[in-house]
Structures are given as C-alpha cells and as structure tokens.
A and B are shown apart, each in its own frame.
Chain A
Amino acid sequence: MVVNTPVAPKRRLLDVPAPLGKVVAEYRIEAGTAQAYTVTQGQYIQIIDVEGSQCSDFLAFAGDDYSQMLDSTVTRTLNGVANPRVGLHGKYFDGSMQPMVEVIQDTCDRHDSFLLACTPRYYADAGYPGHPSCSDNFNGAIAPYGISPKPGWSAINFFFNTQIDCTNTVASAESWSRPGDYVLLKAHQTLLCASSACPDDIDSANAWQPTPIHIRIYAADQTFERAVGKRVAADLPLRLTQESAFTPSIRQLSDHLVEYNSFWVPSSFAYQGDQAEYWALRQRAALMDLSALRKFEITGVDAFALLQYAFSRNLEKVTAGRSAYGCLLNPHGGIVDDGIVFCFSPTHYRYVGNCDTDGDWLRRVAQQQGWSIEVEAVSDRIHNLALQGPASYNILRSLLTSHNDSYYKLSDLSYFGFKAVEIENIPVLLSRTGYTGELGYELFVHPQHGSQLWKILIETGRPKGLLPLGMKALERARIEAGLLAFGYEFDDLISPYQAGIGWSVAMTKPDFIGKSALEAIRQHPPKVAVGIVLEGTETATHGQNIYAKGERWRVGSITSATFSPILNQNIAMAQVVPEYAAIGTQLEVGLLDSIKRRVSATVGPLAAFDPKKSRARVEISHA
C-alpha cells in the first residue's frame, strides 16, 4: 500500500525543473507505482516527467462520496477534440459535465484519453500474468478513500503517445516527452486525485524502462500563463506560447484565442463573428495581429550574396526600401519557408517568414559558403499588425509623419515598398504588403508601443468601419486570394512549381540553392497548383481527393478550401497533375468516402478572387 506523504518541501530536487510558483505539496511517484493526493478548488497540479518518455495516468474524483469522476467521453464530446488542449477546449469533465481540471500549460502536447490505465488483463494477454499495472496500483492508492476497485480505470494517460492509424487501430509508441516535460492543471473542484508512474516495461510506451513521476501542487492564489510547448528542431529549445504586444488589447474583445505558431491569436471576435470581420476586410478595413511571423536581421558584407543564393528571388532588383516575396529553398528544390525579404541596403536585409529555424538555416548556408554575415532573430522586439482593406489607405494617411517630422505622403508607398515612419511619435516600419488580397499595409513596431498603436488604429479606423480580424476570416480571405499556407500548400518536399509560386524562382540567377533540382522539376512538376470552383453547397476540406471526371483514379488533392462569401461559391486551392491543370478542366472532388458523394468542380486560377491582384496592387493617386 502506498502512503500518501508529500515530499518534505525543503528537500532539494535536482532532477526536476524549478517550481513555477508557490508550492504547497510535492510527491515523488517511484517507477511502477501510484499515489493518491487531494487538492482544493483553484489549486494547481503539475505532473512532471522526470527522466522523459514516462507515461503518467491520472484519475480525479469529486463530491462528498467521490461519486463523480473524470469522464473522457464526456470530455471529448463537450470539447469536440480528441484530447483537451490549452485554451477554449482545455477542460476535462466529469460524468455530470462539470469541469474537473483544466490544462493550463503543456510542454509535451501528446497524450491519450482513449484507453484505460493499463490493466492486469493487458499484461496477462501479453504473457505477463501478475505484472503490476496502473489500474491495480490505483485500486490500492484510492482504497483508503472507500472507492471500490475496478479491473480497469478510465484515466487521462499523460505523455502516453497514441493515435488512431489508417487501419483503425489505436497504435501506441514511445512517449514524446523529454526530461522535465510537464502538464500543469488547474483544479476546478476540490478533488481526490491519483497519479501513476506507469509500470509498463513490456513495450515502448515508457521506452521499455519505467521511471519516476514528480507531482507539485501549487497554491490557488496565483495565476500562470496559458501555454503549449512546441519543439521545432532538435537544437532549438522548447517554445511556449506567448502573447504579442497586442494580445492584451485583443483579449478585451475576444475569449476565443487559439495557439498559432506559438502565439495566442484570436479565432474571431465577440459580438462580431468571422462573417462581419471578413466583410469589413473586403469592403472597408480590418486590423489583425501577425506577430507570429518570425523576423531575422541579416547584416554583413555578404548579406546580399547569402540571400541571392538562399532566397528564390533575384535581389539585384530589390533595392533599398523595396521588398520581395519568395521562398527559402533546400537542395532538392523543396520550400524551407516562404517569406518576404526587405532590403535596407546591400549589407542589411530583414527576412520575415514563419519558422524559428530560418535563421539557423541562413547561418549554416553562409558558413558553408564562407560568407561573412550576422543573422539575428529579432522577433522579440518587432511585433506587427496588418491593416488591410479598401479603406486602409484613408485610415492611415492622416496618421503618418516621417522621421523628420514632415507629413509623409502615403500614396508614395508603392506595392511591396516600405518606409520608416512615425504614428503619433511611435516609430513604425510601414510596408505595403499583406496576406489578404486587398490593398493593405503591415506595421512593424517595438512591443513597448504595441497597445498604444493598436488603440490609435482602432480608434482612427472605427468611424470608417474598421473591425479587428480573426484567423477564421483571414483564412477565408487568403484562400480566395490564392495565398499559400505552410503545411497546406507547401512543405520542404514541395517545390515552388508545385506550390504555385514558380514565378518567384529567378532561374536567370547563375547559382542558388536547389537550382539544378528545380531545372529538372520545372520541366514536369509532379503536380501543379490550381484553383477550383465546386458546384453545389458543400465545402471541401484539406486532403480530399480529386478525380478525373468519371474515373476511379485520382489526379490530385485539395490543399485548402472554403466557402467564398464574395463569390458566393465553394472554392478550393488544389494540387493536380499537370495533365489536368488547364483552366476549364472538369474534375470531381471526392467527399465523405470519395464514393458516396462526388462533386463536380472546374479548374480556374489559383486565386479565385481578383486573380490579377488588382486590389492589392492598386495605384493610389496623389491626394
């Protein structure tokens, strides 16, 4: 029987991270055991994987007689997700649909709640009758509280790596968690909890070697930032979700923030909804936080040479005050990342892309080529807003002064141009760029001025119908405009010719990364990007198959899809074999199981709305 005794608080624990706050109790759960403990409403529970790759199952009971317990099916149903995640769908519920615990922080982001805590039957069926199990360990740990034993407990199995594979099997593999990974839960009720250090050593779940788990209980009178930990490279540290300089202002207007590229961004805004935000963008103006973009300063005598080699565009044409959209390439012609290069001088550029690894990639390329450059990640001191829409010019123009305090004529800023300006004494780098297909501007600013800039733009824009824009509305707009998204239209195995940005590859450059591979690919890419317009009222989704009309075999797949309010049609971006990519080609999109329903579709330009980009490129007359 396990004795429920917390570790003496003053004992130094060198094998776990430092506490996150005020600790009221700690428990070390030795490998292969389980322990029960109580928490009061509002306290926090941190479950730490001490050595990594160790599953820890979790039970919670509430009520005077512990009659309410965690219910995974209720949890999945109420949240609409497979496993709760920090944010709007972060709570675990009991059978009466009351929240029991809520995930506040999670550095692993890979858990299971489909399976029972491991059972004696599992081990017996595998040829290990009598092997210790979490369910038996739980029975022992909670028996003193009068809870009847079960042959198998429905638990949250933290750090247990499972998924439903293509054969409908619940497959498990080694845990993704590293030493020190943890989940931090907030107790929404006073609870009896039990945690295990799973004893499974007969498969890979705990990397074949059970190890301890450490529990910390934090006092209720403190708050912790909500965050999900993401790892993007072996040589980069874990990154926790952060707020931008604009997030506090955004939180006043929305309770629906989601994690995007390690930033909290609004999905949509209260009292508006994505439709209102979308129409504001298309008819008037919209303001959104794009601080999740990553910014890198590239300086040095060889800055031009580096980017000319690593970036797809010909930067000879991109002079000071100009920028260009393109992509970083790898040797096999795949897209490392898409982004914009801003030219300050031949020895000073800024790259704005999506990935934390971009800077390291550029450094490595420079080192391989023997070039003298510095690459500095500057995202922490540059946050950015996008002000987009037909009225964006009128909203901005009265606000701008240039550095010498003279009035800056915004109409002088051409498409993809940029300039250092001031807005009510706030230094801003203003570019005429965007991700919406509309006339628009991006404003790069130091975070210390973020909330002030947001307020100025909102208040100046409100009389002109400006609304803040969330990700749902942005997604609709960018698909209409045929703009690419990482992981949907491209990744490191997809060339620019397949992704639809072959025009951004300057083949006339004497040499650049991936040139020889791209020369071959360009002749006949395996697929090319097209836009398609679907008949009927059903919206396609990413990954759905595209067929030649009347045939069984596929010719491509959907990469992004939406209903276009302005076109009043269902549209999609897709990648199809070149033989079926001509404008006007009739195709079929397979919905459901691709057999029960096929929807006719017609190939069109990648950008279904304003394919010539006339709105974004509009010449603004001097006023």
Chain B
Amino acid sequence: MHRLADRKSEDRRLANRKLWDIAGVDGLEVTQLIFGQKVSYLAPFHSIEVTLKRQNCSILRLCEKNFRISYSGPLDQIVTPLQRRAWIKQYDWLHTLFLPTEQLSTLVKIATVRPPHRLESLPNNQAVPACLGDTPVLIWRHCVAAQPTIELHFSRQSVDNILKQLEHLSLSTY
C-alpha cells in the first residue's frame, strides 16, 4: 500500500526536500565551497548529512565532480553567484520515493544490482544503481533530519511501474 497522498509530518519533511544536481569541471570545488572539504572525502555513491542555513541537507557524490544534494532551500541561489565552471539543475524528469529502512531486505529480493555494487546490507549513507524489474532506480540509504530512510530515484515516467511493484510486495512508502 502506498500513502503518497497521505501526508503526515514526516511526509511533509520529506516532500519539502528537493533534489539538486551539481556537476562540471569545478563541480567538486563548488560543492567544497558550500559544504566544506569533507565532501571531497566521499567516494562515488557515498553520502553525508550536513546542515546548510540551519536546514538539513544530504549530499550524495555520484562521480569525481558530480553531486546530488537533497535540500529544501534554494540551493541554486547559493551556487550561481559563485560563478564557477559547474552547473546546478533540478532534473524535471527525476522523481523520488521514500521507504522505511525496514523494507530494504524486501527490496533486496526484487532489485537487480550489477557488480561491483552490492545492495544486501547496504550501509547508511550509501547508494546503489539498481533495477526494479526493467526500471532503473538509484537506491539511497541515508538519514533525513536524523531519521533513517531509503530514498529511491527514478524517472517520472516510471512512477506507476515502480508503485505497482512496491504494492505487489506490500511495501509502503512515505
């Protein structure tokens, strides 16, 4: 069962979160300038939780110079004035779903993951590219405002498909 339309307090917390993608020649430098040098310690598909302007923020590194930031504030207004060789975007085709972390073990049963990635026992603050059926997703385990969650990223076009698969397994979303 999914309860996307049923907004509780944690739904609001999660729903307010926006995804910002930063990349470019200076992608690492920009992210360091905003969040500090600790972001350079992240390996690809690893994340950290920080605070920016008193709001919680999750930073996921996707490659050397590529970051995805989950943040409810206007991050573009912070990045653009830096005038570096990096862009910041909100992909309008990218959709997010949140699952309770207890459902990771069920997700492991239906998701396919290619080496070298591993989904089983996925530690906190790590993400894995996977497929649910034929649908590519990014499965990200991290905390949002200190609350553990599983965050799924996938194309908007796949929403129905993903929801059907999750319903079939009786997985509930936030």
Taking Cβ atoms with an 8 Å cutoff, the residues of A that contact B are: 88, 254-256, 267-268, 270-276, 279, 537-539, 563, 565, 568
Contacts and interface: CB of A to CB of B under 8 A. Distances in A.
Contact of A537 (B28, B44, B46, B123): B28
A279 B44 CA distance: 15
A554 B44 CA distance: 35
B68 to A, nearest CB: 16
Contact of A275 (B41, B116, B118): B41
B40 A273 contact: no
B116 A568 contact: no
Contact of B40 (A270, A271, A565): A565
Given A271-B126, A537-B26, A537-B28, A88 B115 contact: yes
Contact of B43 (A256, A276, A539): A276
A275 B63 CA distance: 12
A537 B43 contact: no
Given A276-B46, A537-B85, 14 more contacts: A255-B118, A268-B116, A271-B118, A273-B42, A273-B45, A273-B46, A275-B40, A275-B41, A276-B41, A279-B41, A537-B28, A537-B29, A538-B25, A563-B64
A279 to B, nearest CB: 6
Q: Which 7 residue pairs across A and B have the least CB separation, nearest first?
A: A273-B43, A256-B116, A255-B115, A275-B43, A255-B116, A270-B118, A537-B29
B37 interface: yes
A272 B40 contact: no
Nearest to B121: A271
Contacts of B26: 537
Interface string B123-134: 100100000000
B123 A271 contact: yes
A559 to B, nearest CB: 21
A275 B42 contact: yes
Interface residues of B, number: 23
Interface string B2-31: 000000000000000000000001101100
Contacts of B115: 88, 255-256
A565 B41 contact: yes
Given A271-B123, A275-B46, A254 B116 contact: yes
A539 B65 CA distance: 11
Nearest to B44: A273
Interface of B: 25-26, 28-29, 37, 40-46, 64-65, 85, 115-118, 121-123, 126
A270 B46 CA distance: 11
Given A88-B115, A537-B29, A274 B37 contact: no
9 contacts: A272-B43, A273-B42, A273-B45, A275-B41, A276-B41, A537-B25, A538-B25, A563-B64, A568-B37
Contacts of B42: 273, 275
B127 to A, nearest CB: 11
Nearest to A271: B123
Contacts of A276: 41, 43, 46
Nearest to B118: A270
Contacts of B44: 273
A242 to B, nearest CB: 21
Given A254-B116, A537-B25, A268 B37 contact: no
A273 B116 CA distance: 11
Nearest to B84: A537
A268 B115 CA distance: 12
Contacts of A279: 41
Contacts of A88: 115-116
Contacts of A256: 115-116
A382 B34 CA distance: 49
B13 to A, nearest CB: 27
Contacts of B25: 537-538
A568 B43 contact: no
Nearest to B126: A271
A274 B43 contact: yes
B136 to A, nearest CB: 11
A332 B95 CA distance: 64
A270 B122 CA distance: 10
Nearest to B45: A273
Contacts of B116: 88, 254-256, 267-268, 270
Contacts of A565: 40-41
B117 to A, nearest CB: 8
A537 B40 CA distance: 12
A273 B118 CA distance: 12
A267 B44 CA distance: 14
B46 A568 contact: no
Nearest to B37: A568
Nearest to B26: A537
Contacts of A274: 43
B140 to A, nearest CB: 14
B82 to A, nearest CB: 13
A469 to B, nearest CB: 13
A273 B117 CA distance: 11
Contacts of A568: 37, 40
Nearest to B122: A271
A267 B37 CA distance: 24
Contacts of B122: 271
Contacts of A272: 43
A252 B118 CA distance: 12
Nearest to B123: A271
